[in-house]
Amino acid sequence: MASIVSVNTYTHSVTYVTDQMLRSLRYIITWVGLDPNKFVSSWNLYEIAVKTWLESQHLKTVVLEVIDPKGELVTRCDFSIDYTYGNGEGSMWVDTDALKHSIAKFGTIPSRCSYSITLLVKSGEPAVLGWGDGSLLSTNGFVKQSLGTTIGTHEIGAQAAYWRRS
């Protein structure tokens, strides 16, 4: 008698990357000294959108913008999705140390700053309730610093970067 076991590994990768990306965003928000409650209270909205668009491979980038009271960009963190990452083997990992190290370079962020999270998607994405078109603040005068891949599975990776004033 033969046994056959089938596991949808892509679904596990989607779930893992979703969880780790949202946790990383919460860590960053907290580590820079801002209140994560706005983000945490909308966690399900973000989770559904990220999972849906990772599953359909429409999610391109998750962007966290830190904004001063005048509405100007203070810094920005990007998580770009790589659907060709991995070698098919079962490892899943996250590098929070790389995120912590880069956050230390931001300097002090005034607590009166706010933040927004934007999901950039490819055209033709499935509709997700509560999501629509948005825009990002200008990065003129900023330089993008890559941290490399900070979240990885055998099928999906997320490359992190942050923006600093040039």
- Give the model's pLDDT for residue 7: 55
* CA 142/CA 21 separation, integer angstroms: 23
- Give the model's pLDDT for residue 5: 46
* CA 163/CA 166 separation, integer angstroms: 9
* CA 54/CA 61 separation, integer angstroms: 10
Is the pTM value of this prediction over 0.85?
A: yes
Instruction: Kindly indicate the confidence band of residue 6, based on its pLDDT and cuts at 50, 70 and 90.
Output: very low
pLDDT digits (tens, 9 = 90+) for 103-156: 887 777 888 999 999 999 999 999 999 999 889 999 999 999 999 999 999 899
* Domains in the chain: ranges and CATH: 9-122+136-165 (3.30.900.10)
In the chain the first and final C-alpha atoms are separated, in Å, by 66
Whether 3 shows a pLDDT value over 80: the answer reads no
Three-state DSSP at 40 gives helix
